[in-house]
C-alpha cells in the first residue's frame, strides 16, 4: 500500500470538504430567513433582515400596480398585528383574499413592509395528506 | 370489508415479525431449516399484504365511500383511472403501497433464494421485513395512518384535488415509492454483509440490479413531478426547492454515487466503505423524505396535521437506521479495507472518487438546509441558496462526466491525454456558434456552463469511439468494433445514454434558469389588444367558457401568437373555478424548437373581466431537460435488460474491464 498517495487523497478530500462546508455555512448565514410570526416583527430587531412569515391575506387589501402586487397579512397565532407585503413575481394559482400564505423577503420596519421575493399559498387543508409537492413559488432570481 | 382489510394488515405485521425472528436465528446459527421457515413467513407476509391492498383497491373501484380513506380521496364522478390513483393520493394509502412494494421485493428475493438458503440473502430479507414491519406497525397503531377506518356518518366524498388530475401526478407517487423500495435492497444487503462480516463483493452482485432499478424509478418519479409542476401548477417553473422536492432529490444524489461506488467495488474492490455508507445513507434519506412529508414538522407549503405517534415511530426508525448502520460499519470497518487504492489524480479512479464525494456533499447540504436549518436554527433557506450551491457543483460534475472517458484507470500518461482531449475540444468549439445564435452571451457563467456541455458531448463520443477501437482489435477499422461498443457491456452502454442524458439535462437547466426571461402586460378584453415578449406578439381574440372536470366552470381567453409577422399558434390561458376549492389560473405552453413560450394570467378572470393580467415567460432549452431525463431512464433500462447466458456475461465483463485500462483481472486483488 502506497502511503504517500493515500495521504495526498486525504488532503485533497479535506480541502474540498472544508471549502464546501465554509461556503454552505456562509450562504445559510447570509441568505437564510428567520421564521417568525407577524407579531414578532414589531420588536424592531428584524429591520433589514430576511424573514419568512405566515399570515392570512386580509379582504380588500389586494392592490395591483406597475410595481407588483400589494396586500396585507394578519398574524396566524390569533394576534391582531398585520404587515404589508409587496411582491412582483408570479402569483401562485390559488392566491386570493382570505387564504393563508407564507412570504419570504426583506423586512423594512420604517415602512412596515415585507418586500417578498417568494410567495407561497398553503394547500387548502381539506386536501391534507397528498403525496405530491404542492404549489411552489417561483425561484427568486 | 373494512374489517377484512384491517385483519389482513394486522396479520401482515405478525408475519413480518415472524419472518424477522426466523431469519435472524437462521442467520445467527447458520440453520437452513430456520431460514426456510423464515421465507415461508415472508410468503404469508406477502399474501396478507396483497389481501389488504386488494380490499382497498376494490373499495375505490366499487366507490365504497364507507371507507373513510376512499371518501377522502375520490368521488363518484372520477374516472376509473383517477379512482385507482386515489389509492396513493393520501398518507394512509401511500404507506400501504409502500408496504406492498416491500413485500413484493422481499418475496421475489426469497423465492429466488429458496433452493440455496444463503445466510447473506436471508439477512437481507430480514432487514426488508423489519422495514415492512415498521410500516405495518405504523398503520396498525396509528389511526391517522390506517386506510381501514370507517367514514364518519354523513361524510360527503371529497374527490381528488383538481391539481392532481393529471396523468403525471397519477404515476409520480408510485414511481417514487418503487424507487425508494428498490434502493432499500442495497441497504438490506449492506446490513446483512456487515452482520456476517463478509467483505467480499457478493452483496454488491446481489443488490446492484435492484439499485439500478430503484435509481431508474426515482429519476422517473422526480422527472414526472417536475413536469407536472411545470404544466399544471402554473407557477412559472418546474423546481421550487420545496422540502418535498428536496427530500426526493437527496436519495437520488446518494444513489447516483452508490451506483458509481458499486462498479469499482465489483471490478477492483475499491470504495468498499463508500458503498456501505452510501447504501445506508440512501435508505436513511428515503425514510427522511417520508418523515419530512408526513410529520409536517418542516414548514412546507403542505398543510399537514401534526401527529405525535407518527412522529415518534418515524423518528425512532430514523435513529435506529442511523445507529445500526454506523455502529455496524464501525464494528466491521477493517473487514472492508481495500487492498487496492486510488494512485493518481490523473486517473479515472480519482474522478469516481470525486464524483462520490461531490454528490454526497451536495446531498448532505440539501438535507441540512431542508431539515436541520428549519428545525435547529429556526431559519429557512430558499431557492437562491440552493441554486448557489447547485450551479457550481452541477458544472463541476458535468466536467467530471466530460473528462472521465479521456482518462485511463490507475494512471494516465500526458501524451495519451493530449490525444484524447482533441475531440471534446472540437465539440466545445463547435457548440459556441449555437449558443451565440441563441443569444446566450448575456451571461458569462451560463455561457461557460454551456461550453462545458459542448465539451462533455465530445467526451461521450470519445468514450464510444474508444470502446469501438478496443472491440475492433489492432489493425481493424474502427467501424468493425462499433457494434460491439454498444453490445459489449450493458453497464458501459448505459453510461453512454445516462451521461449524454445528464449533459442534456444540465444544458436544459442552465438554459431555462439562467436565460429565463419574463414580461407582464395588462391586456384589455377587446379583440386586437396585444402583449409582446422577445419577438412574440400575442393578440387577444375572444373569450369562451365551458364546464370542466369536477363541475368546474372554465373561462378561456384566446390569443393568436405571431412572430416575425406570421402566426405560429394560438394560446388559451384559462381560469378554472371549482365549487369545492375556488378559482385556479392555468398556464398554457407553446413549444418552439429551442424554447417554450409559457403564458398564464396573474389573476383569475372570467367573461365579466375588463382586463387580463398576462404573464409571459420564455424558457430556453427546457425541452432538453425532459429529453435528457428520458435518456437517463433509457440508459438505466439498458443496463437492466437480462443477458443471454451466464458464461457470455462473464466474458463480457472481462472484456469491459480489460478494454478500459490495464486491469488484469475482473475481480481485482480482493476476490
- Render pLDDT for B485-524 as a digit per residue (tens, 0 to 9): 887 788 888 999 999 999 999 999 999 999 999 898 889 9
pLDDT reading at A141 higher than 50: no
Please list every residue in chain B whose beta carbon sits closer than 8 Å to the beta carbon of residue A126.
158, 580-581
Determine contact, residues B401/B459, Cβ cutoff 8 Å: yes
Is the same domain home to A22 and A89? no
The answer to whether the Cβ–Cβ distance between A94 and B582 falls below 8 Å is: yes
State whether residue A14 sits within 8 Å of chain B by CB.
no
In a domain, A18, yes or no: yes
Domain co-membership, B31 together with B178: no
State the count of interchain CB pairs (< 8 A) between A and B. Answer: 205
Are residues B504 and B553 located together in one domain of the fold?
no
* CATH number (domain holding residue B90): 1.20.120
Q: Has residue A140 been placed in a domain?
A: no
Mean pLDDT of chain A, nearest integer: 77
Structure confidence at residue A123 (pLDDT): 53
Note the pTM of the prediction, 2 decimals.
0.89
Q: How many domains does chain B have?
A: 4
Q: Do B655 and B489 touch, CB atoms closer than 8 A? A: yes
pLDDT reading at A36 higher than 50: yes
Query: For residue A125, which of A90, A98, A86, A91 has the smallest C-alpha distance?
Result: A98
Does residue B177 belong to any structural domain of this protein? yes
Please check whether residues A27 and A51 belong to one and the same domain. Answer: no
**B324 lies in the same domain as B278:** yes
- Residues A13, A39: one domain? no
pLDDT computed for residue B405 by the predictor: 81
- Show the domain range for A18: 1-31
Nearest CA in chain B to A141: B384
Residues of A whose CB is below 8 A from B354: 16
Neighboring chain B residues of A123 at a CB cutoff of 8 Å:
161, 301-303
Q: Are residues B218 and B176 in the same domain?
A: yes
ipTM: 0.78
Per-residue pLDDT tens digits for B558-597 = 999 999 889 999 999 999 888 777 788 889 999 998 999 9
Cβ atoms of A72 and A61 within 8 Å: the answer is yes
> DSSP character for B56?
H
Look at residue A98 and tell me if it is in a domain: yes
Dist. CA B533–CA B535, nearest whole Å: 6
> Computed from CA positions of residues B447, B451, B454, B456, in that sequence, does the dihedral angle turn out positive or negative?
negative
Q: Which domain holds residue B554?
A: 517-620
Q: Is A19 on the interface with B (CB under 8 A)?
A: no
* CA–CA distance, B224 with B226 (Å, rounded to integer): 5
- Whether A55 and A112 map to the same domain: the answer is yes
Are A112 and A66 in the same domain? yes
Query: Residues B193, B322: one domain?
Result: yes
Residues A48 and A27 in one domain: no
The pLDDT, as a whole number, for residue B67 is 93
In order of A22, B355, B622, B653, the CA distances from B368 in angstroms are 14, 20, 28, 39
Residue spans of chain B under pLDDT 50: 300-304, 648-649, 654-671
Q: Find out whether B269 and B340 touch, Cβ atoms under 8 Å.
A: yes
Q: Are residues B489 and B635 in the same domain?
A: yes
CA distance B662 to chain A (A): 18
- What CATH number should be reported for the domain holding residue A40? 2.40.50.140
SS3 B432: helix
Distance from the A25 Cα atom to the nearest Cα atom in chain B, whole angstroms: 9
Number of domains in chain A: 2
Q: Do B90 and A91 touch (CB under 8 A)?
A: no
pLDDT of residue B306: 60
Grid cell locating B335: 473487514
- Let me know whether A4 and A55 are in one domain: no
The set of cell numbers assigned to B225 is 413531478
Same domain for A43 and A26? no
- Residue B78 and residue B94 share a domain: yes
Please count the other Cβ atoms lying within 10 Å of the Cβ belonging to residue B72: 27
Contact B90 A120 (CB under 8 A): no
Same domain, yes or no: A115 and A46: yes
Please check whether residue B92 touches A, CB under 8 A: yes
* Helix (H) or strand (E) run with residue B236 in it: none
A121 and B301 within 8 Å at the Cβ level: the answer is: yes
Same structural domain, B473 and B534:
no
The closest alpha carbon to B639, from B332, B319, B208, belongs to B208
Q: Which residue has the cell 386536501?
A: A127
**Same domain? A26 vs A53:** no
Query: Across the interface, do B581 and A94 touch by the CB < 8 Å criterion?
Result: yes
Residues B315 and B429 in one domain: no
Question: Does residue A49 form part of some domain?
Answer: yes
The pLDDT value recorded for residue A127 is 38
Residues B198 and B326 in one domain: yes
pLDDT confidence of residue A111: 83
Question: Residue B584 pairs with which residues in a beta bridge?
Answer: B576
Partner-chain contact B513 A121, CB within 8 Å:
no
Residue B53: half-sphere exposure toward Cβ, Cα within 13 Å:
21
> Do A87 and A117 share a domain, yes or no?
yes
**Does one domain contain both B65 and B172?**
no
Give one DSSP letter per residue of B449-512, joined into a string: HHHHHHHHHHHHHHHHHHHHHHHH-TTS-GGGGHHHHHHS-HHHHHHHHHHHHHHHHHHHHHHH
If asked whether residues B510 and B521 sit together in one domain, one would say no
For residue A20, being part of any structural domain is answered with: yes
Q: Are residues A27 and A46 in the same domain?
A: no
Amino acid at each position: 500500500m502506497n502511503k504517500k498517495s493515500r495521504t495526498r487523497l486525504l488532503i485533497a478530500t479535506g480541502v474540498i470538504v472544508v471549502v464546501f462546508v465554509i461556503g454552505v455555512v456562509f450562504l445559510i448565514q447570509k441568505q437564510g430567513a428567520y421564521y417568525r410570526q407577524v407579531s414578532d416583527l414589531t420588536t424592531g430587531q428584524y429591520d433589514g433582515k430576511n424573514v419568512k412569515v405566515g399570515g392570512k391575506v386580509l379582504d380588500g387589501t389586494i392592490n395591483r400596480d406597475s410595481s407588483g402586487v400589494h396586500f396585507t397579512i394578519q398574524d396566524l397565532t390569533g394576534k391582531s398585528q398585520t404587515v404589508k407585503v409587496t411582491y412582483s413575481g408570479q402569483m401562485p394559482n390559488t392566491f386570493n383574499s382570505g387564504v393563508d400564505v407564507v412570504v419570504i423577503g426583506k423586512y423594512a420596519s420604517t415602512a412596515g413592509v415585507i418586500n417578498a421575493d417568494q410567495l407561497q399559498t398553503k394547500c387548502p387543508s381539506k386536501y391534507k395528506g397528498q403525496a405530491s409537492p404542492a404549489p411552489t413559488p417561483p425561484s427568486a432570481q | 370489508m373494512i374489517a377484512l382489510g384491517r385483519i389482513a394488515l394486522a396479520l401482515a405485521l405478525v408475519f413480518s415479525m415472524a419472518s424477522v425472528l426466523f431469519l435472524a436465528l437462521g442467520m445467527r446459527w447458520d440453520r437452513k431449516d430456520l431460514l426456510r421457515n423464515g421465507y415461508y413467513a415472508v410468503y404469508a407476509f406477502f399474501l396478507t399484504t396483497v389481501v389488504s391492498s386488494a380490499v382497498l383497491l376494490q373499495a375505490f373501484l366499487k366507490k365504497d365511500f364507507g371507507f373513510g380513506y376512499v371518501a377522502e380521496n375520490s368521488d363518484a364522478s372520477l374516472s376509473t383511472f383517477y379512482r385507482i390513483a386515489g389509492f396513493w393520493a393520501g398518507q394512509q394509502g401511500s404507506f400501504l403501497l409502500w408496504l406492498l412494494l416491500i413485500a413484493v421485493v422481499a418475496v421475489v428475493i426469497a423465492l429466488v433464494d429458496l433452493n440455496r438458503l444463503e445466510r447473506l440473502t436471508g439477512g437481507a430479507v430480514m432487514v426488508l421485513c423489519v422495514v415492512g414491519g415498521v410500516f405495518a406497525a405504523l398503520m396498525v397503531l396509528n389511526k391517522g395512518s390506517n386506510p381501514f377506518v370507517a367514514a364518519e356518518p354523513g361524510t360527503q366524498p371529497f374527490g381528488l384535488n383538481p391539481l392532481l388530475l393529471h396523468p403525471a401526478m397519477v404515476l409520480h407517487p408510485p414511481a417514487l415509492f418503487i424507487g425508494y423500495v428498490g434502493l432499500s435492497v442495497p441497504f438490506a444487503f449492506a446490513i446483512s454483509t456487515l452482520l456476517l462480516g463478509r467483505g467480499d463483493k457478493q452483496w454488491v452482485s446481489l443488490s446492484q440490479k435492484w439499485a439500478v432499478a430503484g435509481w431508474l424509478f426515482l429519476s422517473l418519479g422526480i422527472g414526472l413531478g417536475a413536469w407536472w409542476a411545470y404544466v399544471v401548477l402554473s407557477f412559472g417553473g418546474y423546481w421550487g426547492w420545496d422540502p418535498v422536492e428536496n427530500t426526493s432529490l437527496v436519495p437520488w444524489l446518494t444513489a447516483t454515487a452508490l451506483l458509481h461506488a458499486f462498479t469499482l467495488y465489483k471490478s477492483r474492490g475499491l470504495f468498499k466503505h463508500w458503498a456501505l455508507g452510501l447504501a445506508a445513507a440512501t435508505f436513511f434519506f428515503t425514510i427522511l423524505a417520508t418523515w419530512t412529508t408526513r410529520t409536517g414538522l418542516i414548514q412546507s407549503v403542505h398543510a399537514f396535521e401534526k401527529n405525535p405517534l407518527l412522529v415518534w415511530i418515524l423518528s425512532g426508525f430514523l435513529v435506529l437506521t442511523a445507529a445500526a448502520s454506523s455502529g455496524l460499519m464501525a464494528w466491521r470497518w477493517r473487514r472492508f479495507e481495500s487492498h487496492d487504492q486510488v494512485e493518481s489524480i490523473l486517473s479515472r479512479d480519482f474522478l469516481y472518487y470525486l464524483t462520490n464525494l461531490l454528490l454526497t456533499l451536495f446531498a448532505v447540504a440539501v438535507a441540512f438546509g431542508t431539515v436541520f436549518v428549519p428545525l435547529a436554527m429556526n431559519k429557512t433557506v430558499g431557492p437562491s441558496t440552493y441554486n448557489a450551491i447547485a450551479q457550481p457543483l452541477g458544472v463541476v460534475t458535468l466536467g467530471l462526466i466530460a473528462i472521465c472517458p479521456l482518462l485511463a484507470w490507475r494512471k494516465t500518461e500526458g501524451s495519451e491525454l493530449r490525444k484524447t482531449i482533441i475531440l471534446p475540444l472540437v465539440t466545445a468549439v463547435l457548440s459556441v456558434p449555437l449558443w451565440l445564435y441563441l443569444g446566450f452571451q448575456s451571461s458569462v457563467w451560463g455561457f461557460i456552463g454551456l461550453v462545458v456541455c459542448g465539451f462533455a458531448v465530445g467526451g461521450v463520443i470519445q468514450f464510444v469511439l474508444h470502446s469501438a477501437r478496443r472491440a475492433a482489435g489492432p489493425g481493424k477499422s474502427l467501424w468493425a468494433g462499433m457494434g460491439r461498443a454498444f453490445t459489449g457491456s450493458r453497464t458501459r452502454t448505459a453510461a453512454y445514454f445516462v451521461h449524454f442524458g445528464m449533459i442534456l439535462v444540465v444544458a436544459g437547466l442552465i438554459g431555462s434558469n439562467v436565460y429565463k426571461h419574463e414580461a407582464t402586460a395588462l391586456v384589455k378584453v377587446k379583440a386586437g389588444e396585444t402583449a409582446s415578449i422577445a419577438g412574440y406578439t400575442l393578440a387577444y381574440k375572444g373569450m369562451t367558457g365551458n364546464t370542466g372536470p369536477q363541475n368546474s366552470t372554465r373561462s378561456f381567453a384566446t390569443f393568436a401568437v405571431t412572430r416575425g409577422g406570421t402566426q405560429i399558434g394560438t394560446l388559451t390561458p384559462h381560469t378554472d373555478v371549482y365549487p369545492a376549492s375556488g378559482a385556479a389560473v392555468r398556464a398554457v405552453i407553446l413549444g418552439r424548437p429551442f424554447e417554450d413560450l409559457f403564458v398564464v394570467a396573474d389573476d383569475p378572470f372570467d367573461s365579466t373581466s375588463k382586463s387580463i393580467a398576462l404573464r409571459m415567460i420564455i424558457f430556453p432549452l427546457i425541452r432538453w431537460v425532459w429529453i435528457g431525463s428520458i435518456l437517463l431512464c433509457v440508459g438505466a433500462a439498458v443496463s437492466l435488460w437480462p443477458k443471454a447466458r451466464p458464461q457470455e456475461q462473464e466474458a463480457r465483463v472481462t472484456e469491459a474491464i480489460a478494454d478500459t485500462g490495464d486491469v488484469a483481472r475482473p475481480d481485482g486483488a480482493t476476490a
